[in-house]
Structure 1
Amino acid sequence: MFRKEVLDNGLRVITEKIPSVRSVSIGVWVDVGSRDEQAGEEGLSHFIEHMVFKGTRRRTAEAISREIDALGGELNAFTSREGTTFYAKVLDEHVGQGIDLLADIFHHSRFDAREVTKEKQVVLEEIRMVEDDPEDYLHDLHTKNAFRTHPLGRPILGEPATIEALRRRQLVAFRARHYRPSQVVVSVAGNFAFGPVLTQLATAFGGPWGRGPASGRRLPPTIARGVHVQAKPLEQAHVCFGLKGLPHGDKDRYGAYVLNAILGGGVSSRLFQEVREKRGLAYSIYSSVMCFSDSGLLTVYAGVRPDAAPRMMRLVLGELRKLQAKPVPRAELARAKSQLKGNLMLGLESTSSRMSKLAKDEIHFGRHVPLREIMADIDAVSESQLARLSRDLFDDRYLTVTALGPLKKGDVERVLR
């Protein structure tokens, strides 16, 4: 059973009762992420996510860890380009304690200056870890190159210089500016009694808080065409192709999801079959779609030995051109639709994923989107829609190529001519 309530301060509470399970997942979703940071604030959203676990007025950091472990539950958080989420998963009998823990770290974290100094080193190590992973690092470079100076292109973890210079007052000011009830959705999914849970949430998250001035509005980016190569002595050449994507609310979004499944979204996809299965050029090759509130990015990634990179790139470009030139066969379209629907259904079998869907629906669409509606929209995708989308999204004007490894920019540019 799905319900939506709006508290007295404008915070939205979205719930779904699932009596057949024993768990409850609770999430506090803040509609602010790395794209909302100003120059000199790079990484603040992610740093705040770290700091909420470092002690509150009522609990030390160790007490927080011990309490969630004693419940056999999970307490964690993550940051994206457009959001920051704090969540807990507990047994249904512990839902009250789970909400109390979440509310405490969300509202009453101390942001102790000594803890800030220690956590800087942790985040700097996290940045180094990403830079040591070629695939992760390439995706950061690629997003930056695709969006250029737009805030969406900034790395979520921030820049080392910004993290090193960070002060407690910046964190507190950033939080006061962006963490307001109208920017927050609390979602709950699992086996719980609605009345007591709503009462506890209203007590914990209702009332006057976060009354600072509104944060600035977001401006849409433009995908920039270009070739970017960062030389690095690696065993493989890692390459990303960036293409135009669609925002969350676009009427063609399900067409884009189906197109991605056909192109590189699974082991039966065209890229996986042509590049890996038939030619053995790559272990990892795939495509993915990132949707934002006002834009999107479709990315193809492959890691190959350096001397195979030109051939792999020609094959990728060839598959893009085929999708532009020839209609997708009905059988292939039917398989892609079935794949999407199956992935969706299987992904919603946990209370964590159901909780996430509740919040995302509210943030992106302002309403609950029933599963039957999603299935119908997937089924409605047509061959002609895919042909139109291929011509639009795969247009050379939006093609950005980013490479990491022992490659030369001139060699990459020659393949693209």
Structure 2
Amino acid sequence: MYKKHVLENGLTIIGEEIPYVKSISLGIWINAGSRIEDEEISGISHFIEHMLFKGTKNRTSKQIASEIDNLGGQINAFTSKECTCYYVKLLDSHIDIGIDILSDMILNSKFNEDDLDKERSVIIEELKMYEDSPEDLAYDLLTENIYKNDTLGMNIIGTEESLKKLNREKLLDYFNKYYVPNNSVIAISGNFNFNEIINKIEEKFKGWKKKSVNIDIKKAEFKSCFLTKNKDIEQVNLAMSLEAVPLENDEEVYALAVINTVFGGSISSRLFQKIREEKGLVYSIYSSQSLYRKCGELGIFASMSNEHLEEVYESIIEEIKIMKKDYLTEQEIKESKEQLKGSYILGLESTSSRMMSIGRSLLLNNKVESTDDILKSIDNVDRETVKKVIDKIFNLNKLGVCIVGRDLEENKL
């Protein structure tokens, strides 16, 4: 059962007490990601995430890491298109230190000029690392083109050009604008007393000042595209995308989860069984959902030898057509539901996955469903809703394709 409390400064705290574990996961979620940036400051959300680990008025960068490491805990962060999260996972007896360090990072980071220049170099290396990963490169290029001229299509890390233009003044201006309590959520899962932890959080964050924040999320228009990039690698990497449903469409989101599991979301799925197991054309093939506020996509990825590209591509297109024509059987829907419920329940054994789930849900969708509600929503998916969602998504007129590999001019797709 989740408990929720809002401090006077607007900071929302949501917690799930699990008395039978010995750990606590706590995350600070900020409603700021690459989607609210523009080209001039592309990558700034991710840059700030890095800078908060570079030292505060009270701790050096090494102290931030070592104080958690020395307790056998974990501290990390990530930036997505719609949010940024800083989190710790510790033994329940050490959570005070976790709260102290995270509050110190949020409230007292120095944004030192020398650190900023060093970290800019680190982030540019990170950008190059992703460019050297064919799967990531194919996905990034595809996203950039299906959401062309929209901030949702921008790379979370930014570009080398935009990173070089980011200075301390721009970082602090963005930080002070969006890193405010009424634009944030603290999520906790594990062995703790909710009332006690509220008092601890309030003590650390009471000086965090509330400000007016205006974030206007507009629907990103999905644009069909077909692009290739030659790269001297052994395999060809194929990324495809179909326009899907937005995060807030609960009924359709659960139906899409059922559909995706059957289509390509598991090793028993149609894509995996037919293209890998029966035809032996690929090692890796899968589909996955990327759901955002007001829009979403169903992605398909496969890697293969160059000579198999045409057959793999045509096989995927054929599976999309079959899905559109024949939908799912009652047996497939039933089996997919059981698979989703099993996967969800197994995930509940991790306090960090629970914290991630409730934090993201409250921040981006302004609500958190109980375990029983989620299982009920999966069970309630019916064939009519499945058919409606398939009709909406499996549309070849709304298809994005990106291929990364060598000698692509020889292929005739």
For Structure 1 versus Structure 2, the TM-score category normalised by the shorter chain is over 0.9
Partner in structure 2 of residue 242 of structure 1: 241
Task: Give the aligned residue type for 1:2.
Answer: Y
Match in the other structure for 1:141: 141
Trace 1:208-227 onto structure 2 (pairs within 5 A). Answer: 208-209=208-209, 211=211, 214-227=213-226
Question: Does the 8 Å CA contact 1:262/1:269 hold for their aligned counterparts?
Answer: yes
| TM superposition shift of 1:269 | 0.2
Aligned position for 1:321: 321
TM-superposed CA distance for 1:335, in Å, is 1.4
Deviations 1:364-393 (A, max 9, x none): 332330111111111122223222222210
Pair 1:364-2:364 in alignment: yes
Q: Distance in 1 between matches of 2:123 and 2:327?
A: 47
Residue 16 of structure 1 aligns with which residue? 16
Separation of aligned partners in 2, 1:300 and 1:202: 44
> Identity percentage over the alignment?
35
Q: Which residue of 2 aligns with 1:47?
A: 47
Residues of 2 paired with 1:210 and 1:163: CA distance?
29
Distance in structure 1 (CA, Å) of the matches to 2:163 and 2:313 = 36
One-letter amino acid matched to 2:217: R
1:66-108 C-alpha deviation (Å, 9 max, x unpaired): 2111221111100000000000111111111110011001111
In the TM superposition, what are the counterparts of 1:93-104 in structure 2 within 5 Å? 93-104=93-104
Residues 226-305 of structure 1 mapped to structure 2, 5 A cutoff: 226-250=225-249, 251-305=251-305
C-alpha separation between the residues in 2 aligned to 1:259 and 1:19? 36
Deviates more, 1:39-48 or 1:372-381: 372-381
Label 1:389 to 1:343 Cα distance change in 2 as closer, same or farther (>3 A). Answer: same
- Answer yes or no: is 1:72 the counterpart of 2:67: no
How far residue 165 of structure 1 moved from its aligned partner, in angstroms, is 2.4
Asked if 2 retains the 8 angstrom alpha-carbon contact of 1:11 and 1:206, the reply is no
- The Cα of 1:7 is off from its aligned counterpart by 0.5
Moved more, 105-114 or 351-360: 351-360
Match of 2:82 in 1: 82
Give the corresponding residue for 1:331. 331
Which amino acid in the other structure matches residue 138 of structure 2? L
Would you say the 8 A contact 1:140–1:155 is kept in 2? Answer: yes
1:63 maps to 63
Which whole-Å CA distance do the structure 2 matches of 1:153 and 1:407 have between them? 27
Report the aligned-residue RMSD. Answer: 1.5
8 Å contact kept, 1:327–1:384: no
Query: What are the residue-to-residue correspondences of 1:103-252 with 2, within 5 Å?
Result: 103-209=103-209, 211=211, 214-250=213-249, 251-252=251-252
Secondary structure at the residue paired with 2:171? helix
**Deviation, structure 1 residue 207:** 4.4
- In 1: Cα distance, 2:102 partner to 2:179 partner: 15
CA drift of 1:359 comes to 1.1
Name the SS for the 1:397 alignment partner: coil
Deviation track 1:154-196 (CA, whole Å, cap 9, x = no partner) reads 1111101111222111110111111122210001111112233
**Residues 56 and 108, structure 1, Cα contact 8 Å, conserved in 2:** yes
Taking structure 2 as the reference length, what is the TM-score of the superposition?
0.97
Check whether the contact 1:234–1:406 (CA below 8 A) recurs between aligned residues.
yes
Shift of 1:332: 1.6
SS of the aligned residue for 2:40 comes to coil
Contact 2:39 2:162 in 1 (8 A): no
Q: Is the 8 A contact 1:237 1:407 kept in 2?
A: no
Q: Deviation of residue 2 (structure 1)?
A: 2.1
User: Which residue matches 1:26?
Assistant: 26
Within 1, Cα distance between the matches of 2:178 and 2:219? Answer: 19
Distance 1:367 1:227 in 2: 37
The C-alpha deviation readout for 1:253-307, integer Å capped at 9, x for no partner, is 1011111111100100000011100011111100000000111011111111111
8 Å contact kept, 1:81–1:152: yes
Distance 1:231 1:383 in 2: 42
Q: CA deviation at 1:409?
A: 6.5
- Output the CA distance in 2 between the equivalents of 1:157 and 1:365: 24
Moved more, 157-166 or 116-125: 157-166
Aligned mates of 2:54, 2:327 — CA distance in 1: 55
Contact 2:240 2:401 in 1 (8 A): yes
**Given residue 401 of structure 2, which amino acid in structure 1 is its aligned partner?**
V
Listed as ranges, the gaps of 5+ residues in structure 1 are none
Runs (5+) with no aligned partner, structure 2? none
The alpha carbon displacement at 1:208 in A equals 4.8
1:282–1:304 CA contact under 8 A, matched in 2: yes
Q: Separation in 2 of the partners of 1:372 and 1:216?
A: 32
Deviations 1:108-137 (A, max 9, x none): 110100000101111011011101110111
Contact 2:244 2:392 in 1 (8 A): no
TM-score (norm 1): 0.96
* 8 Å CA contact 2:235, 2:306 repeated in 1: yes
The answer to whether the 8 Å contact 1:242/1:399 transfers is yes
Whichever residue aligns with residue 9 of structure 1, its letter is N
Q: Does the aligned pair in 1 maintain the 2:107–2:208 contact within 8 Å?
A: no
* Superposition map of 1:376-391 within 5 A: 376-391=376-391
Aligned residues: 412
- What is the identity, as a one-letter code, of the residue corresponding to 2:229? Q
Contact 1:42 1:154 in 2 (8 A): yes
